[in-house]
Amino acid sequence: KLPDGALGVQFEHVTFSYNKGTPVLHDVSFALKPGERLGIVGRTGSGKSSVSRLLLRLYNIDSGTIRVGGVDIRTLRLEALYRRVGMVTQEVQLFDGTLRDNLTLFDSGVTDEAIMETTGRLGLRKWIEGLPEGLDTHLQAGGTSLSAGEAQLFALTRVFLTQPSLVILDEPSSRLDAATEAALQEAVNQLLRQCTGIVIAHRLSTLEKVDNMLVLGEGRVLEFGSREDL
Ligand code: ATP
Ligand code: MG
């Protein structure tokens, strides 16, 4: 049901609370067209990561509508959503399966050569080669034998290999050292060329090439518009 190619996003009057408590997002509306890049900034706790979690339907919203590719995400099968929306967050979601399955999301069309090429480029190859069972290593949901930085590279590698139509980068380099971060920046720019992108960042410098900016404050939209307008 989702259209092919880059996917647009619409938040329409979205209000959301965790566990039916105080809303952490109040009447949030914004839109981005297919292929556009949106930057989200705001202070700690302003609701940036909550916006990204809602796009993957990790929680149900209290009111309003979220559309991806013009489709209300409540009507989509989760597998369809996960296949098209890739996310690199401050943590990585692992599930029961081999390392290969975790990197390819069970897409058997992704070859081991492609995996090793991408992990080589993104700096995860040494870690994989150090595992006795390599790509056949069994991983468990929730289990982490990865450092925080490795987890971030893991999520990024997965996004590269599965080529989603919408990519959400939630502070993707927050746990990387400066040298790794610099090497990663070019890879991320290349990735965003082919799809719609949402980039969440504390520092504005990482948001140089966005089309629109969303500024959140205490769960509300403080500003939304092109960078020049703000
Ligand atoms: P940061 O810049 O620190 O990453 P953020 O803008 O991403 O912050 P969110 O993680 O979206 O902020 O959190 C928004 C609010 O929701 C905060 O008040 C936070 O305490 C609350 N919150 C986040 N996750 C949960 C959760 N799983 N259960 C309950 N409350 C949560
Ligand atoms: Mg966050």
Class of domain 9-226: alpha beta
Ligand lying nearest the CA atom of residue 47: 1
- pLDDT, one tens digit per residue, over 81-102 is 988 999 988 778 888 999 999 9
Number of residues in the chain: 230
Ligand lying nearest the CA atom of residue 202: 1
- pLDDT, one tens digit per residue, over 191-200 is 888 899 999 9
Confidence of residue 143 (pLDDT cuts 50, 70, 90): low
Looking at every residue in the chain, the average pLDDT score rounds to 89
In the prediction, which pLDDT does 210 show?
87
What lies within 8 Å, CB to CB, of 60 at 6+ separation is none
- Mean pLDDT calculated for residue range 106-132: 92
Q: Where do the domains of the chain lie?
A: 9-226
Least confident stretch, 85-89, 119-123, 177-181, 220-224: 177-181
Residue nearest to atom 11 of ligand 1 (CA): 47
Ligand 1 atom nearest residue 216's Cα:
6
Rounded Cα distance between 39 and 223, Å, is: 11
Mutate to test the pocket of ligand 1, among 18, 58, 62 (most ligand atoms within 8 A of CB): 18
Half-sphere exposure of 151 (CA within 13 A, CB side): 17
Mutate to test the pocket of ligand 1, among 11, 24, 58 (most ligand atoms within 8 A of CB): 24
Confidence of residue 225 (pLDDT cuts 50, 70, 90): very high
Ligand 1 neighbours (beta carbon < 6 A): 18, 24, 42, 44-50
pTM of the entire predicted model: 0.89
Cα of 74 from ligand 2 centre, angstroms:
23
Helices (H), the chain: 48-55, 78-84, 99-104, 112-122, 125-129, 148-162, 178-192
Residue percentage of the chain with pLDDT more than 70? 95
